[in-house]
Amino acid sequence: MTGVRIVLSALALAVALVLQVTVFSHLAWQGVVPNLCLLLVVATALVRGAQPAMLLGFAGGLLLDLAPPADHVAGRWALALVLVGYVAGRMRQDTRPTAVAVVATVAACSFVGTSVFALSGLLLEPHAPGVPHLLAVIGVAVVWDVALTPFVLPAAMAGFRRLDPQRVPA
Amino acid sequence: MTAPDRRERRWRATDRPDDRGRPPGSLVVALLLACATLITLDYRGGADSPLEPARRALGEVVGPAETAAAAAVRPFTAVPDWFRSHDSLREDLDDLEAENAALRAQLRSSGVDRNRLEEYDGLTTAARDLGRALVPARVVGMGPSQSFSRTVTIDAGSEAGLTPDLTVLNDDGLVGRILRVTRTTATVLLIVDPGSTVGGRVGDSMEVGFLTGRDEIGDGGLLDLELVDESVVPARDAPVLTWGSEGGAPYVAGVPIGRVTRVYSDVRETTQRAVIEPYVDFGALDVVGVVVASGSDSDRAVVEADGSLR
């Protein structure tokens, strides 16, 4: 079961990444697209807790860092999504989360994830953009991620719930 | 909630530590260290970082998937594109009609597949102007602005004869240069990326300078031109072309880049800076051409210098 779970999670991440760079680039607003990998990490965290979410975040971040057309210092998205997994995991409740709670979690995580990535860029990249640019991108990214939450999160959470053998269906 | 209740829940929590909010500290430390290691390795490594093989390996797998996905959505994405370009094209219609008639006559006489040629005739003109061969390719993936770098994936790689540091252009002007290739795809750094520097020459005064991507949010993008001779003020609307690198890599000479829209002088650095609006619409990149040496091997038809397909 664990093997199946890992394979399916990896597959979901790969699909999210490919959609993000091919399909959503056509819908991009100001060049910013919804971060589907981040949404998957949040969904995992809300259903299964911080530990699997952080592992998934690490894998997804690595994918974002290395797969074409990425060209930044590798490990930056990995770091951002590991932290997203941690934050979302801490926000998880025992009961099934309400819609408002899910949206709030996504907004917070999107802000944390994009900001951590942007800040690491300020430290590491020789041609880091200015702070007003960073804030604009972070703002648009949060709006995009929240806008896509109703379409992605319920399906992803239902999927991860079905994969979870220990959990009784809520 | 009563006190025993709360204790009860806490007990359950320690039974299944990974199922409650707090993950084990060892995992947090391990993952953060792993990220720090990756960042350090890649940062110190620079161009020949130990992660380059991993990048390439992942590109071999993800690249074809991106190509397939882009091909699958192309019929749908072409619809808004058509409306958008329809508006802008209407203005140029008269000019283009005359040009088209001439090109059509050429196409009829050439006897090559006409549909395919029509797609490439913009590129054909570009190849003739430069006197080099072009490998045609399509953009299949765009890096998001969240990554703060302007890169795209194209569906031609080492099998099509591409290597890093080749010039990429389309029928409007300079697009960028190739950063790395896999067998079937290549990653292109756009000239509007803040990390990209191109040597440029102002068309009417022949003054040379350097163009860097401007740090601005948006689909399009602007460039900053800094002239070497600080006493010269570039004229508005003057065209800017590449002045070319040694051996034609990464940029060949004479490719149009854009036109001067704004000029301002930097008092502190006593230099003239001009803002360049590129001819290429970076929000709607599709067919591009990669400049290769004439006669190089490729897995597809190459647009030769005389305009013929090979």
Interface predicted TM-score (ipTM): 0.87
Facing residues of B180 across strands?
B187
3-state secondary structure of B245: coil
Question: Domain A2-163 is in which class?
Answer: mainly alpha
Six-digit token string for B293: 């040496």
Q: Report the C-alpha dihedral over residues A164, A167, A170, B5, rounded to 10 degrees.
A: -150
Helix residue spans in chain A (DSSP H): 2-22, 36-48, 50-66, 76-90, 99-124, 131-163
Q: Check if the beta carbon of residue A19 is closer than 8 Å to that of residue A135.
A: no
Chain B partners within 8 Å of A72 (Cβ): 147-149
Task: Tell me the β-bridge partners of B278.
Answer: B258
Backbone angles phi, psi at B291, to 5 degrees: -75, 120
Of B186, B150, B188, whose CA–CA distance to B59 is shortest? B186
Flag whether residue A165 sits within 8 Å of chain B, measured between CB atoms: no
Q: Which has the closest alpha carbon to B17: A164, A54, A51, A166?
A: A51
More confidently predicted of B219 and B53: B53
How far is residue B302's CA from residue B161's CA, in Å, rounded to a whole number?
10
Residue A151 burial (CB < 10 Å; 0-12/13-18/19+)?
Answer: exposed
Give me the mean pLDDT over the A78-89 stretch: 94
Q: Is B59 on the interface with A (CB under 8 A)?
A: yes
For chain A positions 59-78, those within 8 Å of chain B (CB to CB) are 61-78
pLDDT for B112 equals 46
B59-88 pLDDT per residue, tens:
999 999 999 998 888 888 777 666 666 666
| A21 interfaces chain B, CB cutoff of 8 Å | yes
| Residues B149-192 pLDDT 10s | 889 999 999 999 999 999 999 888 899 999 999 999 999 999 99
pLDDT tens digits for A8-61?
A: 888 999 999 999 888 888 888 888 899 999 999 999 999 888 999 999 999 999
- Give the model confidence (pLDDT) of B107-154 as tens digits: 555 544 555 555 566 666 666 555 678 899 999 998 888 888 889 999
- Report yes or no: A116 at the B interface, CB cutoff 8 Å: no
In the 8-state DSSP scheme, what is residue A29? B
* d(C-alpha B307, C-alpha B310), whole Å: 10
CB atoms within 10 A of CB B283: 16
What's the rounded Cα separation, in Å, for the pair B138 and B116? Answer: 13
* Every domain of chain A and the residues it spans: 2-163
CA distance B224 to B214: 6
* Banded model confidence at residue A64, pLDDT cuts 50, 70, 90: very high
A34: helix, strand or coil = coil
